[in-house]
Amino acid sequence: MLPFTTDQFLANLAAYNQAFWPVQLAALGLGGCAVVLLLLRPGMADRLITFILAAMWLWTGIAYHWLYFSRINQAAVSFGALFVAQAALLAHVGIRKQLRFGRGFGPAVGVGIAFVGYAIVLYPLIGTWTGHAYPRTPAFGVTPCPVTIFTFGLLLLAKQPPPRPLLVVPLIWSLIGGSAAFLLGVPQDWLLLASGVIAVPLIVLGDRRHARAPSAEKPA
């Protein structure tokens, strides 16, 4: 049983969106920049994309979880800590250039593109179509669920498998936040619930194939 009602959740979400407008537009712009960087591949693309993700996780942890969601759910204090930790980990990975992005082929790439497009475009549209119009809907880049889907999408588009610790918090939130699809009637979160189950195995399998590649290339 949730410690808040659906109406309380939506009212809290609306108050959050209204208080921080137009940060949502800035977040949408950052998401668009990440996609452009992924396509054009300038020299700083990998680091900039990683820092964009870090900024989204940091903002969501502090502004959404700690300042607003904690008003109706005490567990949001812990959720915010997880999001801030994910932001710190992304920043660390970005500084060390441990995450490289690039276009390619295969199931993981296709799923990654689908997740990115869903988080930016379809997620808000589905919310509007099903009666959760702005501001009573999670906005891209500044609320946990679309941030998580977007992150999984970009991690699936990494040239090399991302560091495993980067998968932990998004996987946890895909299960916790995805429960909103059932408990709060948020249909756009159906994909969130499935995103971790789909993305993590694809990334882990890619990691194993990458690990076997050098030995496969050695002459017999």
Render pLDDT for 51-66 as a digit per residue (tens, 0 to 9).
999 999 999 999 999 9
| Rounded CA separation 83/85 (Å) | 5
Helix or strand or coil: residue 158? strand
Q: What pLDDT is recorded for position 207?
A: 59
Contact 155, 167 (CB under 8 A): yes
Residue 60's nearest CA partner among 48, 71, 69, 73 is 69
Residue 149's nearest CA partner among 198, 76, 204 is 198
Confidence of residue 164 (pLDDT cuts 50, 70, 90): very high
> Which has more confidence, 182 or 16?
16
Whether residue 179 has pLDDT greater than 90: no
Contact 38, 103 (CB under 8 A): yes
Render pLDDT for 19-55 as a digit per residue (tens, 0 to 9).
999 999 999 999 999 999 999 988 899 999 999 999 9
Q: What pLDDT is recorded for position 211?
A: 54
Mean pLDDT of 185-189: 91
Q: What pLDDT is recorded for position 83?
A: 98
Render pLDDT for 198-217 as a digit per residue (tens, 0 to 9).
999 999 887 556 555 554 34
| Rounded CA separation 183/95 (Å) | 39
Whether residue 220 has pLDDT greater than 60: no
Confidence of residue 14 (pLDDT cuts 50, 70, 90): very high
| Rounded CA separation 29/25 (Å) | 6
Which neighbouring-strand residues pair with 158?
Answer: 101
Phi-psi region at 101: left, alpha or beta (left = phi > 0; alpha = psi -120 to 50):
beta
Angle between helical axes of 168-178 and 144-156 (0-180°, round to 10): 140
Dihedral of alpha carbons 61, 66, 72, 73, sign? positive
